[in-house]
Amino acid sequence: MRRAALLVIVALALVPAGAVAAPRQRTSMTAVLPYVMCVTCGIPLTAAQSPQADAERSYIQQLIDQGDTLPQVKRALVVQYGDAVLALPPASGFDLTVYVVPVVVVVALLALLGVLLPRWRRNMRRAEPASAAVAAPLSAEDSARLDADLARFE
Amino acid sequence: MVVAVAAAALVGLLAYGVAKQGPSRSLDAAIEAGRHPPAPNTTRPLPVLDGLATRTATLAHWRGKVVVLNFWASWCDPCAAEAPLLERAQRLLAADGEGTVVGITYKDVSGDSLSEIKRYGLSYPNLRDADGSFAAGFGTDQLPETFVINRRLHVVAISRGQITKLSWLTAAISEAERT
């Protein structure tokens, strides 16, 4: 009996402290959530309220509690739910449009400006003599009539 | 002209994206019209849910048998409610060797799915559809959903929602055995 008790004490003394302590958390729920979607609702997990979203959050908490880092949590989520679980979709297939379309739109708009801006400036320059003609000094006859009109208001 | 083409392309892209979101109901329409459409994705391998994640299986593996294909998840309460009924159907099918129930877990953590299988003592095989792309072929986006498939791998009956009566299932299985 005493020998058994001694063996237990020795065994406990040999167990490293880290082996019994809970693993240290390397990330947090608030750090993970912005990267994750609710896979059945199609909205960010932060805003999702559904049984599936609850299951997802519970799984994330489990991964955090076991000491996984943010990239490890993201990888584990992709293994369980596929790429759709990540808020930023993969740059392949139809999802590639998410990255390509904005760039194409910006380039197209810049090209359009490149074409339209010089044309607009040319038109402005052409229009300048006309506006200058409008601003030309009045003839003597018009000037006399204007003076007469103004005199009536004095 | 260029602006109009670009705008049309963007609108087209948007329309395609929106159309892609909705579930397909082509199988339901075919069944309503009295036809038995071929089951989709029959040769697509899915991981077998056995805790090891080393084996895969396809629906074609069960060609020649009646298959009751059930999409479920551990987070889905109606799925849990119909699990005992599906297990009864499995025992009936296994007794005469005519077919099997095949569970497909939908967007579910494998550990949670395995716990549910243990809790309800499910004896039928289960496969994993992690991202729901296999289910999308069946127009599945709500759970539970069940498809009764005949020996030639054609769909003969669909239940979009919880099965509450074994009689619906046995009638669908009988039809699958006849066709």
pLDDT tens per residue, range A19-67: 455 668 889 999 999 999 999 988 999 999 999 999 999 999 999 999 9
Kindly tell me the burial class for residue B94, based on how many C-beta atoms sit within 10 Å of its own C-beta (0-12, 13-18, 19 or more).
middle
Q: What beta strand segments (E) does chain B contain?
A: 46-47, 56-57, 66-72, 99-106, 126-129, 145-149, 155-160
Which residues in chain A touch residue B107, judged by CB atoms under 8 angstroms apart? 39-40, 52, 81-82
Q: Radius of gyration (Cα) for chain A, nearest Å?
A: 38
pLDDT the model gives residue A16 = 52
Mean pLDDT of B5-14: 74
Q: Do B130 and A54 touch (CB under 8 A)?
A: no
Among B104, B138, B107, residue whose Cα is nearest residue B30: B138
Taking CA atoms, what residue in B is nearest to A86? B131
Among B81, B116, B102, B108, residue whose Cα is nearest residue B147: B102
More confident residue, B80 or A98: B80
pLDDT tops 60 at residue A146: yes
B124: Cα within 13 Å, side-chain hemisphere = 28
Mean pLDDT of B37-59: 92
pLDDT tops 80 at residue A4: no
Give the tens place of pLDDT for each residue, B49-90: 987 768 999 999 999 999 999 999 999 999 999 999 999 999
Instruction: State the pLDDT confidence band at B8, using cuts at 50, 70 and 90.
Output: confident
Percent with pLDDT over 90 in chain B: 79
How far apart CA A29 and CA A43 sit, in angstroms, is: 17
Strands B99-106 and B66-72: parallel
pLDDT tops 60 at residue A1: no
Give the tens place of pLDDT for each residue, B131-154: 899 999 999 988 999 999 999 999
pLDDT the model gives residue A64 = 96
Query: Can you give the pTM of this predicted structure?
Result: 0.72
Which sign does the torsion angle of CA A8, A11, A17, A22 carry?
negative
pLDDT the model gives residue A80 = 92
Distance of CA A75 to the CA centre of its chain: 20
More confident residue, B28 or A102: B28
More confident residue, B73 or A15: B73
The single residue listed with the structure tokens 């390397």 is A26
Using CA atoms of B92, B95, B98, B104 in order, give the dihedral in degrees to the nearest 10. Answer: 60
Q: Do B109 and A52 touch (CB under 8 A)?
A: no
The single residue listed with the structure tokens 């003839």 is A139
The CA distance from A81 to the nearest CA of chain B, in Å, is 5
Cα-based angle B111, B70, A39 (whole degrees, multiple of 5) = 55
What mean pLDDT value characterizes chain B? 92
The CA distance from A57 to the nearest CA of chain B, in Å, is 11
- By the 8 A CB rule, do A82 and B131 touch? yes
Cis peptide before A129 (omega within 30 of 0): no
- From the list B13, B75, B130, which residue is nearest A82 (CB)? B130
Judged by DSSP in three states, B68 sits in: strand
pLDDT the model gives residue B3 = 67
In DSSP terms, which residues pair with B70 in a beta bridge?
B103, B146
Q: Do A84 and B132 touch (CB under 8 A)?
A: yes
pLDDT the model gives residue A153 = 85
What mean pLDDT value characterizes chain A? 84
How far apart CA A116 and CA B131 sit, in angstroms, is: 46
Identify the residue among B3, B76, B109 best suited for mutation to test binding to A, counting A beta carbons within 10 A and taking the highest. Answer: B109
- By the 8 A CB rule, do B160 and B145 touch? yes
More confident residue, A72 or A129: A72
More confident residue, A142 or B16: A142
